[in-house]
Amino acid sequence: MELKEAYETICTYLNESEKRKLLESNLTGAFKGGVVKPIYKDLVKQHLPYIDYPFKDEMDNVFCYRQNDEKPGLNVLHFGGVYYLLDPSSAFVPNQFSKNDKTNLVLDMCAAPGGKTITYAIKHPNDLIIANEISLSRANELAKNIERMGLANVIVTCMDPQEINDSFNSIFDRILLDAPCSGSGMFCKEPKMLEDWTYDKVIKCSLIQKQLLKKAIKLCALNGEILYSTCSYSNEEDDEVIEATLDESIEIVNINSSFDTYKTKYGNILFPYIFNGEGQYVSKLRKIKGDKIDINLLKSNNVDKIEKQYVIHPLLKKLPAGLKIIKPGIKIYDNREHSKIIYDNDYKFLCPIKKVEITYEQACSFIKGSEVFLNTNYSKKEEVVVTYKDIPLGYGRIVSNKIKNLLPKGLYAPNIRL
């Protein structure tokens, strides 16, 4: 199916002018982007001069660039967890929760590879995010991304969302549901999505989406919010899913964004011709009827063992048992024989020992797995955190005038660019 034919089939709600704009926006190439830890915005711009920060307000730490030969993933800052690469439209979604002053318990039901979780976690460091993924391989990849970013307020779990037991009902203040979909919003970025698209796929995804949203409503706390999103333009996966799951316990909340979007009956669509990103649908729901649960009165799980080995968020101690956790926090201790836990990738962010600052060129060598030679001789052999611009890159051991590389070999980045 050609792109024009696909849009004619899928986007029946658009007029001819809008369809033409959508097609033209796809022909100009996809936008790419990333979310930056706010204190590093200027530093990232210095290293990546081709990026822009075109957004404002809640998305002021999201950058954007046209799809080209640039490789921001091969930069020392990316390795050091300063930014995470993602489509700007994906970054839009987790920024649409209503503002509040509480410490929120958040569930990302289908979190891999982690863009929405990371975007949210950076902006809300005091909240606890349960980032769940049904696939073990994808959950492990999600955990690696959280580890690289050094986010202590994210727990990674691996389970079918439908298996989250009833003791978790009505306790999540905020839920992200980026549901599996047919992917028509990604035709420009991923042409294979167009090759694989069928209407049968839309219908199958729609059934799964309705089940997931019903589960999300059960898990959502009274007065809590759900952001339901897809990267599909099909109404069957967007507004029709919302309509099929609406009941007296749920109300639709308008998304009052400073950005232009295409308004639908129950949500908003980000089209590339009105927003610098790929196609994305999002609807915001609030739970207005249901049981009011005090999380402080729940029978909590036993986290004593976890607490001895990890830096964990205080809210984790209050959660019921039943989550299949693969990453509960930042690991700080391992009692296994011959353990080298001090070298775990995210432990470096705690910087419990001496730091040694190196140049960008030296950082590139270090990340590739090489030793780093210093201008100073050190009389004492000791383990250190190696940093660039005070960004922790990993562990090394000072011996005389060089730093022996203690990065795990699996983290070496041989293609890092000067």
pLDDT by position in tens, the chain (length 418): 889 999 999 999 999 999 999 999 887 777 899 999 999 999 999 999 999 999 988 899 999 998 677 899 999 999 999 999 999 999 999 999 999 999 999 999 999 999 999 999 999 999 999 999 999 999 999 999 999 999 999 999 999 999 999 999 999 999 999 999 999 999 988 888 999 999 999 999 999 999 999 999 999 999 999 999 999 999 999 999 999 999 999 999 999 888 899 999 999 999 999 998 999 999 999 999 999 888 877 766 767 778 888 888 999 988 998 999 999 998 887 666 655 545 567 778 876 788 999 999 999 999 999 999 998 888 889 889 999 999 999 999 999 999 999 998 889 999 998 7
Residues contacting residue 146 through CB under 8 Å, at least 6 positions apart: 114, 117, 118, 121, 131, 154, 156, 327, 346
Out of 11, 220, 231, 364, pick the active-site residue: 231
pLDDT computed for residue 340 by the predictor = 54
pTM for this prediction = 0.95
Give the whole-angstrom CA distance, residue 222 versus residue 171: 8
E strands in 264-412: 268-270, 280-287, 310-311, 325-327, 330-331, 355-357, 372-388, 391-405
User: DSSP letter string over 226-278?
Assistant: EEEEES---GGGTHHHHHHH--TTEEEE----SS--EE-SS-EEE-TTTSSS-
* For the chain, domain boundaries: 3-287, 351-411
> What is 3-287's CATH number, 3.40.50.150, 3.30.10.20, 1.10.3470.10, 3.40.50.700?
3.40.50.150
Q: Which residue has the tokens 């037991």?
A: 165
Q: Give the CATH class of 351-411.
A: alpha beta
Residue 364 is a catalytic residue: no
pLDDT computed for residue 372 by the predictor = 96
Answer for the pair 254, 284: CB distance below 8 angstroms, yes or no.
Answer: yes
